[in-house]
């Protein structure tokens, strides 16, 4: 039998405001924290790509067996943008988000979470 | 003067339905098409990570100077999920999306586009 992906996944799109300069200017900490966060939902990391911008700013993309996660920092605004897309289920990624929030300590979070349906009705 | 990112970026989150098996099972074509699409908005590619799943399914993440773009395929449903986040401006990425749509020829597209504000009001 051919593997079929679950019909509905989950997308988390989030801006975290009020993160300290120390945290945002520490790519090593950000990378380790994102990877640890992804362990909280037992995601499987298959690839990574990251970049340290000059004079500041850090981007990291993580390719998951379950789709992807990304972070982008804006030290000039003390903010960070986090995206997670998991094709595994419609409520996936909550532990990852919670861990990130605990470690990055933002003062304010704007979060949008929504289901991503990869089937059409005739595939139900 | 320290570089400041524009205060508002753009996010495109899209499911394309009804794409042919031939297209979805051709990772080389998908990769080339995504990279060509990103040229249409003059995005700068800084890194890539991709994976061919067995027996099917392809994921590609592209790290951009302007943030990131990703695709995930679901050949079992003839669908593809495309995400683009650009920190460059609040209406960025339209040419990329248009080119992808022309080349992938989906029968139906579900698109959500929204601004991502990385500043708080006291940073205006």
Question: Across the interface, do B70 and A85 touch by the CB < 8 Å criterion?
Answer: yes
A2 located within any domain? no
Question: Across the interface, do B49 and A47 touch by the CB < 8 Å criterion?
Answer: yes
We report the CATH number of the domain holding residue A25 as 3.60.90.10
B7 located within any domain? no
Q: How many CA atoms lie within 13 A of B40 on its CB side?
A: 18
Catalytic residue among B72, B83, B89, B121: B72
Tell me which of A116, A122, A124 to substitute to probe the interface with B (most B C-beta atoms closer than 10 Å): A116
A109 located within any domain? yes
Domain count, chain A: 1
Is the complex ipTM higher than 0.90?
A: yes
Catalytic residue among A14, A79, A86, A87: A87
Strand partners, B70: B61, B83
Strand partners, B66: none
Q: Is B44 on the interface with A (CB under 8 A)?
A: no
Strand partners, B116: B9
Contact B14, B109 (CB under 8 A): yes
CB atoms within 10 A of CB B42: 10
Chain center to CA of B7: 21
A7 located within any domain? no
A29 located within any domain? yes
pTM beyond 0.90, yes or no: yes
A70 to chain B: closest CA residue: B68
User: What is the domain extent for residue B87?
Assistant: 20-117
pLDDT along chain A (124 residues), means of 10: 84 97 97 98 98 96 98 97 96 97 98 94 52
The per-residue pLDDT for range B20-74, each reduced to its tens digit, is: 999 999 999 999 999 999 999 999 999 999 999 999 999 999 999 999 999 999 9
Question: Across the interface, do B47 and A51 touch by the CB < 8 Å criterion?
Answer: yes
Contact A64, A86 (CB under 8 A): yes
A60 located within any domain? yes
| Contact residues on chain B for A71, CB-CB shorter than 8 A | none
B5 located within any domain? no
A123 located within any domain? no
Q: Is B22 on the interface with A (CB under 8 A)?
A: no
Catalytic residue among A17, A68, A72, A83: A72
The per-residue pLDDT for range B64-107, each reduced to its tens digit, is: 999 999 999 999 999 999 999 999 999 999 999 999 999 999 99
Cα torsion through A31, A37, A41, A42, rounded to 10: 50
């Amino acid at each position: 039998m051919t593997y079929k992906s679950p019909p509905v996944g989950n997308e988390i799109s989030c801006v975290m405001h009020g993160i300290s300069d120390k945290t945002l200017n520490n790519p090593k900490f950000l990378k380790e924290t994102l990877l640890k966060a992804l362990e909280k939902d037992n995601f499987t990391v298959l690839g990574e790509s990251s970049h340290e911008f000059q004079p500041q700013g850090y981007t990291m993309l993580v390719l998951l067996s379950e789709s992807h996660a990304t972070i982008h920092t804006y030290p000039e605004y003390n903010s960070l943008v986090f995206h997670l897309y998991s094709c595994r289920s419609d409520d996936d990624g909550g532990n990852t988000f919670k861990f990130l929030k605990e470690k990055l300590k933002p003062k304010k979070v704007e979060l949008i979470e929504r289901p991503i349906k990869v089937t059409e009705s005739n595939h139900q």
